[in-house]
Amino acid sequence: MDLLNTEALKKYFGEVHAVDGVSLTLRDAELLSVVGPNGSGKTTLVNLISGALKPDSGKVYFEGRDITGIPPHKRVKMGIGRSFQIPAIYENLTTLDSLLVSIFSNTNLSHVFYKTKDKFEKAKEEAINLLETLNIPLKLVGELPHGQRKLLDVAMALSLKPKLILLDEPTAGISLDERDEVMQTIVGFIRNQKIAAIIVEHDMDIVAEYSDRVIVMHEGRVLKEGGKEILDDGEVRRILIGD
């Protein structure tokens, strides 16, 4: 059974057909990259899968269950995490506290004023281990360079122990020197934990290096789907880079 299926998803904004009948499948532990020019519908598709947007029509299935009408916070509990193109983090917290907030939110402890010592220590140990694994320093978020901020945003999603993580442009705004290191860290962890991922990415070198499979979107539709070799397809290159 596939981990995720979308069935003829549509989302229109007036005359703009942002997602126009997209069907896709994702297997356990598979890394799927979604590429396409600006305005092709990539982020809208991620928002439909995460529940941030409701489709005008179509279905989303996770582990065989129809989750189309399920809100985002319940999808997180089911095992769907996501990071954002612009990191959703708190600059006045430490990196450790940021992960603790995320962990507590997924263990029904965020609203409990009194937390037993053993539960707090277990959560703290999990957070420290994740920081060390992803090479994120223990310091104020506001002091982090952009690449580590992106890593922290991904770490907060990974701390929820997802079965599927949605990564919206994980290398956006990161210097060329940092990109490979950031992606190696993220993908290494995802592979090790056997987490499936849908990655929206503009850097075709990153896509070619780390993807198991690629979907090319254009004007809200899936134009091509296959292995990373489709990036060399003439029509795909024309749409992506103007060749």
pLDDT tens for residues 9-50?
999 999 999 999 999 999 999 999 999 999 999 999 999 999
pLDDT digits (tens, 9 = 90+) for 98-107: 999 888 877 6
pLDDT digits (tens, 9 = 90+) for 175-215: 888 888 889 999 999 999 999 999 999 889 999 999 999 99
As given in the structure block, the two tokens for residue 176 are: 């060329």
* pLDDT score of 110: 47
* pLDDT score of 117: 54
Residues 6+ apart with CB under 8 A from 78: 62, 63, 65, 67, 70
65 — pLDDT class (breaks 50, 70, 90):
very high
* pLDDT score of 103: 87
Q: Is the model more confident about 229 or about 88?
A: 229
Q: Is the model more confident about 113 or about 222?
A: 222
* pLDDT score of 108: 58
Calculate the average pLDDT of the chain. Answer: 90
* pLDDT score of 115: 52
pLDDT over threshold 90, residue 84: no
* pLDDT score of 85: 74
CA 227 to chain centre: 20
Residue ranges and CATH numbers for the domains of the chain are 4-241 (3.40.50.300)
88 — pLDDT class (breaks 50, 70, 90):
confident
Share of the chain above pLDDT 70, in %: 94
114 — pLDDT class (breaks 50, 70, 90):
low
Burial of 37 (0-12, 13-18, 19+ CB in 10 A): middle
Range with the poorest average pLDDT among 80-89, 130-139, 150-159, 228-237: 80-89
* pLDDT score of 109: 52
* pLDDT score of 113: 47
Mean pLDDT of all residues in 105-131: 72
Whole-angstrom Cα distance, residue 243 to residue 241?
Answer: 6
